[in-house]
Amino acid sequence: MQQWGLLSLRLHSKATRKFKYKTDKAHHNIVPNTLDRQFNPDKPNKTGVTDITYIKTGEGWLYLSSVIIDLYGRKVIARQTSRYIDRHLVCNTLKQALFRRHFPKNVLIHSDQGSQYCSADFKQLLLQYGLRQSMSRRGNCFDNAVVESFFHTLKTHIIHDCYYKTRKQANKALFEYIETYYNRIRRHSANGWVSLEQYEQQYYQNEKMIEVGTV
């Protein structure tokens, strides 16, 4: 009798309500995988790849928008860190890369389908500076293998088994590793076992020799 009394009061269990998943609208802005694992362009400033990783510190997470990496020589040409993983992080990284490379046009920028790269602000920057966009297929890390390999190397050297009390300490370690060691000293198998900086400079030296007719 008591149960029938509850029904007469028009009471219903919340469990009968169907759950609706709310999709981030930014994820509707995905683009095809134009890069298609073509990781060996014939010159610098032709293709850049990017992604985000994170570092645990005593103050909390530090997010590293690791790259943009120029695929020609695998050099890290831009990096930004933040305590927030949002569109501003990736936009600032792209701006830094453009400034350092003197604003080249028609560069293909490849990333995963993260909401930061799907954001209107990031896409507006690409349009504003005449860049093209490519995205990995969903859940396929091999489509962005160069960045994944870089992250693995980075974490093996300065993140795993390391503890950073503050974000400032982590930032200092990242700067020293990427700007001093990784780009300028570490030899890379894809470059004939010369440093990333040296490999890129060899390209420009050869181009200069061709211009003056010595080659």
Q: Which two tokens stand for residue 59?
A: 């103050």
Quickly tell me which residue has 């003056």 as its tokens.
Answer: 212
Cβ atoms 191, 77 nearer than 8 A: no
Ordered per-residue pLDDT tens for the chain, 215 residues: 455 454 455 544 444 444 343 434 455 689 999 999 999 999 999 999 999 998 999 999 998 866 799 999 999 999 999 988 899 999 999 999 999 999 999 999 999 999 999 999 999 999 999 999 999 999 899 999 999 999 999 999 999 989 999 999 999 999 999 999 999 999 988 788 899 999 999 999 998 888 777 65
Q: What are the domain boundaries of the chain?
A: 24-211
- The superfamily CATH assigns to domain 24-211 is Ribonuclease H-like superfamily/Ribonuclease H (3.30.420.10)
| Nearest residue to 35 via CA among 117, 116, 119, 109 | 109
- DSSP conformation letters of 35-80: STT----SSTTSEEE--EEEEEETTEEEEEE---EETTTTEE---E
Residue 96 per-residue DSSP state: H
Beta bridge partners of 57: 60, 164
Q: Which two tokens stand for residue 176?
A: 């020293």
What is the pLDDT at residue 24? 44
